Structure 1
Amino acid sequence: MRGTVPGLGIPYPIGGLLPAVYQEDFFAQRFTAGLDEVLAPVVSTLDCLDAYLDPALAPADFLDWLAGWLGLDLAEHLTPQRRRALLARACDLYRARGTAPGLREHLELVFGGRVEVTDTGGVVIGPLRPGQVPGGSAAGPALRVRIAPAVAVSPLLVEEFVARVKPAHVTHVVEVLQA
């Protein structure tokens, strides 16, 4: 929660910006000093706005807010370092969304460890060249995901995550290898 910060100054006190007649008025100076104290965190935040929008520098409680701007769902089990890495790579993840390498990278960022994503029936493995047609099978597109996460996670959690980030028309099989 943000609030007043004891001892935080304001670069341009309001009392010094008033006309000369009010700069000599004791009440006006005390009143504007109170405003300075309340406005100091706002001015400080605006002066440092770029740091709030940078995933590497943003306060930990702002990471979920940044993720909401980008449409990312940050799971509660993620450490702040992993959340920052995921936010920093968000644009690249969206660019590769729907491809096996994109899914693999997304899984590595969220769960860590080793991840293998294999096409078992016509999924686009990488970018297609003009005129190139993706392969396919009678069963339709399918993925096989094998993951050995860095920390023990519920297979159901991985299953739900894969179902959310893969293309909707692609079937999948998830195998979680616990350490």
Structure 2
Amino acid sequence: MRAAVDDVATPDPLGRRLPGIYADDDLAQRLTGAYDQVLAPVHATLDSLWAYFDPALAPPDFVDWLGSWVAAGASPDRPVDERRRVVAAAVTRHRVRGTAAGIAEEVRLTVGVLPEVVESGGTTWSATPGSPLPGSAEPTLTVRVRVPEPTPELAARVRAVVEANRPAHVSYTVEVSQSSADDADGPR
């Protein structure tokens, strides 16, 4: 992932470690200097390895790689700062993965619009035994996204996000429609 880095000084030149007889040998010093030039980026990377695992400090291409480790789903076409936030918050989002709130947040991060998520299930409490259960027996999920300009590509992206984040046994429907002036406040 990391390429060669120009003009990086080594913190511990190999020429200093040679026996005293080679300390003034020009050929030995130039040869170890060549090795130092190759190894200096390795030393620099290892010395700052902790920073590569912090999304706020890691190089941009490494942030994308970190995102793949934690299934962050940060789109590479998003700005680097946004990708850093998505990767940093991945563990928190995994706590609600598969729930309506988790699916809504993943769709929002992917397309920039908070969708309306409707589930078929529900819970209730009753002091009367045998009370009717809420929802339906067949688990389903409907995700409605209202955007100014719906496109087939956007619908495909939303379907991919829902497919990756829904519970495996729940069927789903994605509805992408054009927003109106009343939708400016977001879903209700």
Shorter-chain TM-score: what band?
0.7 to 0.9
CA distance in 2 between counterparts of 1:26 and 1:114 reads 67
AA at the equivalent of 1:147:
V
CA distance in 2 between counterparts of 1:80 and 1:72 reads 14
Counterpart of 2:13 in structure 1 is 13
Offset of 1:123 from its aligned partner?
Answer: 6.3
What is the CA deviation profile of residues 130-162 of structure 1, one whole-angstrom value per residue up to 9, with x for unaligned ones?
xxxx95522x11222122469965212211221
- The reply to whether residue 147 of structure 1 matches residue 166 of structure 2 is no
Q: 1:1-179 alignment to 2 at 5 Å?
A: 2-119=2-119, 121-122=120-121, 136-138=135-137, 140-148=138-146, 154-178=154-178
Offset of 1:5 from its aligned partner?
Answer: 2.6
Q: Structure 1 vs Structure 2: percent identity of aligned residues?
A: 42
CA distance in 2 between counterparts of 1:68 and 1:41 reads 24
Gaps of 5+ in 2: 124-132, 180-188
Gap change, CA 1:69 and 1:175, over 3 Å in 2: same
Equivalent pair of 1:112/1:149 in contact (CA under 8 Å): no
Equivalent pair of 1:103/1:165 in contact (CA under 8 Å): yes
Offset of 1:74 from its aligned partner?
Answer: 4.3
Equivalent pair of 1:104/1:116 in contact (CA under 8 Å): yes
Which has the larger displacement, 143-152 or 108-117?
Answer: 143-152
AA at the equivalent of 1:165:
N
AA at the equivalent of 2:121:
G
Q: TM-score if structure 2 supplies the norm length? A: 0.75
Counterpart of 1:130 in structure 2 is none
Q: What count of residue pairs does the alignment treat as equivalent?
A: 168
Cα root mean square deviation, aligned: 2.6
CA distance in 2 between counterparts of 1:123 and 1:90 reads 27
CA distance in 2 between counterparts of 1:21 and 1:88 reads 53
CA distance in 1 between counterparts of 2:85 and 2:178 reads 23
Counterpart of 1:127 in structure 2 is none
Structure number with greater Rg is 2
Equivalent pair of 1:111/1:151 in contact (CA under 8 Å): no
AA at the equivalent of 1:145:
V
Gaps of 5+ in 1: 125-133
